[in-house]
């Protein structure tokens, strides 16, 4: 069976498309999920969102145990605060793409220091919701060998 790509989303992203469209666009999280599945083609996608840090940690453990072929993660505010998510991601031995809808480096200082970037294979930021499709395409390329192509 083909290994899944995990797409994990952190706090408040369930409200995507409802507020601050100038920063985050007007696409909903359900539409982002559809975009990810379309970009992945036949490769299965586990698309999740939580406002709870422990749940994201548990999903990273699940991705390690299954095993998933790669993790795309938008940790949202946990990007800057969560050593628990960082420690869990450090245990994942395959590609990790950190994703942000906005360009965090153009924003206020509090959004500049990602804990996750230090261990991510790649970082995508500032492409809007379309960044998810780009991240899935990049993940397919990064994991091509592992899927036997
Ligand atoms: O740009 C991103 O994807 C962020 O990860 C979003 C986080 C922010 O803390 C990061 O610095 C960058 C915030 C997510 C807030 O989600 C919203 C959803 C709908 C409307 C407004 C905010």
Question: Residue 91: which domain range?
Answer: 5-110+119-147
Supply the pLDDT for residue 100.
98
The string of pLDDT tens digits covering residues 104-146 is 999 888 889 999 999 999 999 999 999 999 999 999 999 997 7
| C-alpha 118: how far from chain center | 15
Q: How many domains does the chain fold into?
A: 1
Q: What is the DSSP string of 85-144?
A: HHHHHHT--S-EEEEESS-GGGS-GGGS--SGGGT-SEEEESSGGGHHHHHHHHHHHHTT
Which whole number is the average pLDDT over 30-51?
98
Q: Is the CB of 120 under 6 A from ligand 1?
A: no
| Ligand 1 binding pocket includes 136 (Cβ within 6 Å) | no
Q: Indicate the pLDDT class of residue 148, thresholds 50, 70 and 90.
A: low
pTM score of the predicted model: 0.96
Closest atom of ligand 1 relative to the 14 alpha carbon: 18
> What's the pLDDT score for residue 85?
98
For the domain that residue 10 is a member of, what is the CATH number?
3.40.50.9100
């Amino acid at each position: 069976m083909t290994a899944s790509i995990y797409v994990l989303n952190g706090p408040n992203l369930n409200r995507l498309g409802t507020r601050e469209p100038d920063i985050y666009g007007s696409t909903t999280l359900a539409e982002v999920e559809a975009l990810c599945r379309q970009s992945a083609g036949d490769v299965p996608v586990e698309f999740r969102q939580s406002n709870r840090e422990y749940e994201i940690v548990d999903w990273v453990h699940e991705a390690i145990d299954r095993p998933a072929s790669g993790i795309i993660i938008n940790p949202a505010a946990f990007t800057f605060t969560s050593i628990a998510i960082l420690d869990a991601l450090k245990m994942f031995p395959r590609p990790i793409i950190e994703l942000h809808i906005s360009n965090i480096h153009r924003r206020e200082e509090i959004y500049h220091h990602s804990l996750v970037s230090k261990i991510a294979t790649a970082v995508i930021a500032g492409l809007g919701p379309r960044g998810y499709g780009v991240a899935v395409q990049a993940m397919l390329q990064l994991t091509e060998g592992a899927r036997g192509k």
